[in-house]
Structure 1
């Protein structure tokens, strides 16, 4: 379960755009205060950290004057420390969060963009602050870590905390599977060498190579299972709330099993046929039939799962 790629973040953002905008609007409406323009750096930091205790996805705070010039240094939250508190005096009048805020009295939220500070996808929410006489005092801007905000909305923040431990456990299991596959490969190689020796030595009976094929097939199946586990649970990001991710994982695991069982059934047929044990061929045929039924069941699962997800997405879009 790796970190969300930018593609995954954008995809989830499109699904939860309205809810995210509502959340950020309520946060900044309650947080923004004209008194912030009179506070020093330490006071701003303390105020931001108190906000982050409830909303840990807020990464940065800064203040702009009426002309879009930054009048405070960047204030990082306690969860997203920046290497230096910079930004004071920078002209941000050409930035979307300033232009949008100056055009309305409400909270505005930008589209996602790549943060120059943290190199992560983020968005900015801002609000124009006016004085009693109606003149513009400035603009308050909050930078939001988009991936963390989406995890917060989905209630996934606590699972992300334990994710490194999950990765260690899955990596240990995968390592064990790879060791077993390597052991079977070595045994298969040893059996193959014995067959080669019996072929080159005179007056020796040539061994039937079914043992070698069985060892190599098992090694292939176990290696493929370990590879699938490594990709699905360690290297790739998997959104457990999205049905397509779960369906992809189940499909890959069942496919590995189907391939391994099919090969074993064919080997049984060849072995029984060559050894004159035709009465046992029916057992292998039953295994092939069971494999075919498993393949049909997998196809039905994938089809119904995709239709169910399409219906859910349709309902979400309508609401």
Structure 2
């Protein structure tokens, strides 16, 4: 449950690009009032609602018709307005949100880029402000793209409690690793006893017990590693079926490996004369086959279902896009 990677953010942006542009244009329309340019000072009342309603907005500032910034930067931090004097009189005439605005009737939204201020992915939206037929200037809004995607997907609240989830998962993984250490300690102790005990006093089945301890340690370690990677270190997109399918596949694969090794060891015991282990070994082998078949069916059907969802979404998008209607 780490933060969204840049690849995930850009992928989601392209998926929701028309909606993102529509949302930003509505924000510009809502606050794009000529009073913003009253005596060259930003009207803070006009952007107060933006700070409370849109947590993804990072910066708001004004440009004149030549692309020079005529206001100080208004940063929206934790839904509160913070004035930053830097930026006034800066020449932004070469920025895309100024150069390309002439080609847009309503406003212009840039492609995603890395912000110099925050280092994260950002997009900027601009709109020319008019009074009657005279252009007063240009309103520019900088947006944190990651937070915007989370806001549109209704994922902001979950992200706020993500550190708590990470802490719980990390504690569980720590407990599993402690158990692995205990199993390995037991196995090493048994190996030492096996090497120091006279051959005539050794139990022929003792090596199999050691292998069982090591196998359990391997399975538990692999399970803890999977939880650590999936829930703490990596970003997990709960809105995609492939993410959940990946976690379940890795979990079941860990169980399959452990059961397969145990079934093989049980079969070896039976071959050494312990006939009572024949039936349990056969049932464990059948359980492995059943899990393997079930996992294969789950992965295939899950991938097919996701492919159908993607095709359906693409079809709906093409039907609703301009120019697709005959």
Q: Mark yes or no: TM-score above 0.5.
A: yes
CA distance in 1, matches of 2:118, 2:309: 34
Question: What is the CA–CA distance in structure 1 between the aligned matches of 2:185 and 2:12, rounded to whole Å?
Answer: 46
Residue by residue over 1:29-60, the C-alpha shift from the partner in whole angstroms, topping out at 9 and shown as x without a partner, is 1121111112776743x543421211111111
Moved more, 252-261 or 282-291: 282-291
Aligned-partner Cα distance in 2 for 1:172–1:41: 52
Give the 3 Å change call, closer, same or farther, for CA 82–177 of structure 1 in structure 2. Answer: farther
Q: Structure 2 length as normaliser, TM-score?
A: 0.91
| Structure 1 residues 84 and 33, CA gap change in structure 2 (3 angstroms) | closer
Cα distance in 1 for partners of 2:178, 2:43 equals: 56
Q: Quote the residue 2:228 is aligned against.
A: 230
Match of 1:157 in 2: 156
CA distance in 2: counterparts of 1:85 and 1:230, whole angstroms: 44
In the alignment, is the contact (CA less than 8 A) between 1:29 and 1:107 conserved in 2? no
- How far has the Cα of 1:64 moved from its partner? 0.6
Question: What does residue 322 of structure 2 align with?
Answer: none
Instruction: Look up the match of 2:119.
Output: 119
1:263-293 deviations in Å (ceiling 9; x for gaps):
111111112221x122431221111111111
Q: Sort the Cα spacing of 1:79 and 1:49 in 2 relative to 1 into closer, same or farther, 3 A.
A: farther
3-state DSSP of counterpart to 2:168: helix
Task: Find the aligned partners of 2:47 and 2:191 in 1 and give their Cα distance.
Answer: 68
Kindly indicate whether residue 290 of structure 2 is the aligned counterpart of residue 293 of structure 1. yes
The unaligned stretches of length 5 or more in structure 1 are none
Change (3 A) 1:202 1:162: closer
Partner of 2:275: 278
Q: Which residue in the other structure is 2:239 paired with?
A: 241
RMSD: 1.9
Partner of 2:54 in structure 1?
A: 55
For residue 221 of structure 1, what is the aligned residue in structure 2? 219
Alignment of 1:1-319 (within 5 A): 1-38=1-38, 43-44=43-44, 46-79=45-78, 85-132=85-132, 134-198=133-197, 201=198, 204-205=201-202, 207=204, 208-274=206-272, 276-318=273-315, 319=317
Q: TM-score, normalised by structure 1?
A: 0.93
Aligned positions, number: 314
Looking at structure 2, the residues matched to 221 and 173 of structure 1 have their Cα atoms a distance apart, in angstroms, of 15
Asked whether the equivalents of residues 104 and 128 of structure 1 are also in contact (C-alpha less than 8 Å), the reply is no
Q: Give 5+ residue unaligned stretches, structure 2.
A: 318-326
